[in-house]
Amino acid sequence: MALDGNAIGGLLLEIFAVDMTSAEATCAACGAVRSVAETMVYFRGPGTVVRCRSCTSVLMVISRVRGLNCVDLSGIEALRVRAASA
């Protein structure tokens, strides 16, 4: 089932403790920069696969293994997340 990054906003909130849907991710494969909300998300399978909407390469894979969220971010070259105001 293909949704978008909004659908894993809660999971990402649990992992990163800040909203990540508005974070901008640079795809390591094609260089496209888009918000995490705009990624293609496949879940309900063994893990959650997050893909670049521009080139479909895998950006992120999140597997839940024995109470741990295992996050592979190697498909993301850079992330920009808004800092909390001073």
Partner 1 sequence: MAGTAVRGRLIWQVATVATVTDETDAVRTIALDLPDWPGHHAGQHLDVRLTAEDGYSAERSYSIASADGEPVAITVERLDDGEVSPYLTQELRPGDQMEVRGPIGNWFTWGPHDGGPLLLIAGGSGVVPLRAILRHRQRSGSSVPARLLYSSRSLEEVIYRGELDQYRGSAEVRYTLTRRQPPGWGGFAGRVDGAMLARIAWPASQRPLAFICGPTPFVEAVAELLVARHYPESRVKTERFGGA
Partner 2 sequence: MTSPVSRGFHRLSRPGDAQAGKLPPGQHATTDFPVLSAGPTPHTPLQEWSFSIRRGGKTLRAWTWPEFMDLPAETVTVDIHCVTRWSKLGTVWRGVPVPALLDQVAHDAQYVLAFSDGGYTTNLPVKDVTGGQAWLAFDYDGQPLPPEHGGPARLLVPHLYFWKSAKWVRGMELLDHDQPGFWENYGYNNYGDPWREQRYAGD
Site residues (vs partner 2, CB under 8 A): 1-2, 40, 42, 44-47, 49, 51, 56, 58, 61, 63, 65-66, 70, 72
Residues 37 to 66 in contact with partner 1, rule: CB under 8 A: 37-38, 44
Closest CA to 15 of 61, 57, 51, 53: 61
CB of 49 to partner 1, least distance (A): 15
For residue 29, what are the contacts with CB-CB under 8 A and spacing of at least 6? Answer: 52, 55, 57, 75
Identity at 62, one-letter amino acid code: I
CB of 64 to partner 2, least distance (A): 9
Residues 61 to 80 in contact with partner 1, rule: CB under 8 A: none
Binding site for partner 1 (CB under 8 A): 1-7, 9-10, 13-14, 17, 19, 21-22, 35-38, 44, 82
